[in-house]
Amino acid sequence: MKNIKKYFVVLLAVLVLVGCSSGSGSKGNTDIVTEVPAGTEITFWHAMNGGQQDALVKITEDFMAANPNIKVTLQNQSKYPDLQSKINQTIASPKDLPTITQAYPNWLWNAATQDKVLVDLDPFINHETIGLKDKADILPVLMNGAKIDGVQYGIPFNKSTEVLYYNKTLLDQYGVQVPTTMEELASASKEIFEKSNGQVIGAGFDSLNNYYAIGMANEGKEFTKDLDIAGPESLKVAKFYQDGVKEGYFRIADKGEYLSTPFGAGLLAMNVGSMAGESHVKKAVDGRYEYGAAVRPDVKNIQQGTDIYMFNSATPEQQTAAFLYMSYLVSPEAQLHWATKTGYMPVSAKVQASDDYKNSGSLIAKILSDATKDLFAIPVIENSDPAYNKTREMMELILSDPSSDAQAILNDYKVKVEAEWNQ
């Protein structure tokens, strides 16, 4: 609490000083407003729910309490697909866009390179008066991940990777060890399925396009335009999951849902999903049994999660207010609260190394270092997002009918994915 108060005292001092200034910025930034007048309102589109939304509301209320001139209106767009669709539909009418939004950088390739509706944040970040005070503390790999076509349009916020949630009570009951490789995951899942007489399915993966991309990365294949969707590595990755579904020890999530529901009900022993799902898993389990979190049972893992982007339809005053809010969201004080309440990884190096985080009680905090040893990201290049989403559709088709010809489906989707890249 002392650190939070100290942060706000410094921030208020900055606003007082800039309010007495001429309003000009540093070299190349003379159009940046440094005084935020009373009644300045900004809107933030997001897709945070449950404990994630609760944490965001708390952080936002703290910011507004210390910055009475700024009102932040949080507008929940439900789930990520809904948020992406809303952004895409609204870009044609810039006046209806929010001040800032959560988004994956791949979503906004056209918004940045063709529609030109995003604000380059670099002048704000490096501004001599209102610049990002904690810039050096933000992990460079995450900061770079918020660039589109080499421009710093975003600031990282809710970042994550995948982990393995497991029903410790059940694994102990059946004498099954927590798997550390994909082969061990299949073996453990079979054993649980058999020992429970088919009452408990061994494991599943929340995100099918993540499953495919991570599997291919561990086969040495990067998700790019040159990836051979119909190649032997692709078939190996697809068949591993399909064979498990066919034999009963693997499952997929119901359409539009996550596996935390059957996991919480004790019907699924292990669930590979986002570390940001920790609060959802806790709610789903609701104290019925002891559960744990472990490193995803593979070598390479995916860097995922959204960043925050600003639209240039906002007024200069709104842009400055929004940047001050974004700066607070990535401050160590806010990131500690965010990470411990949601399971997202802190974007702050200080927080990741802090005893407060490591001893917070978060299961993710204990495994974060090992879970993020070898991360990769889906390249932020033209049409990577629709191509990536097409692989989800591909895997759904393969897994919805486990007796289907996986190679034939891959051959078909090789053409479809190439069409997405070339549109």
**Predicted pLDDT of residue 141:** 87
Nearest alpha-carbon partner for 169 in 307, 312, 287: 287
**Structure letter (DSSP) for residue 118:** B
**Structure letter (DSSP) for residue 96:** G
Residue 295 Cα distances to 62, 119, 259, 413, angstroms: 33, 37, 17, 31
- CATH 3.40.190.10 positions along the chain are 40-160+305-371, 161-303+378-422
User: CATH class for domain 161-303+378-422?
Assistant: alpha beta
What predicted TM-score, i.e. pTM, was given to this entire model? 0.84
**Predicted pLDDT of residue 414:** 98
What fold, for 40-160+305-371? D-Maltodextrin-Binding Protein; domain 2 (3.40.190)
Could you tell me the maximum CA-CA distance found in the chain, to the nearest angstrom? Answer: 75
Residue 38 Cα distances to 35, 119, 322, 329, angstroms: 10, 23, 14, 21
Q: How confident is the model at residue 257 (pLDDT cuts 50, 70, 90)?
A: confident
> Cβ atoms within 10 A of the Cβ of 324, count?
22
For residues 294 and 178, the answer to whether their CB atoms sit within 8 Å is yes
Judged against a pLDDT cut of 90, whether residue 43 lies above it is answered with: yes
What's the CA gap between 305 and 302, in Å, rounded? Answer: 10
Token pair recorded at residue 25 = 């910025």
Nearest alpha-carbon partner for 205 in 395, 419, 71: 395
Question: How do residues 8-41 score in pLDDT, each as one tens digit?
Answer: 444 444 444 344 333 333 334 558 999 999 999 9
What's the CA gap between 199 and 51, in Å, rounded? Answer: 30
Residue in the structure block whose two tokens are 């190679």: 407
Judged against a pLDDT cut of 70, whether residue 47 lies above it is answered with: yes
Higher confidence at residue 255 or residue 205? 205
List, in order, residues 6 or more apart from 40 with CB less than 8 Å away.
69, 70, 71, 317, 318, 321
What's the CA gap between 270 and 168, in Å, rounded? Answer: 9
Q: How far does Cα 314 stand from its chain's mean position?
A: 25
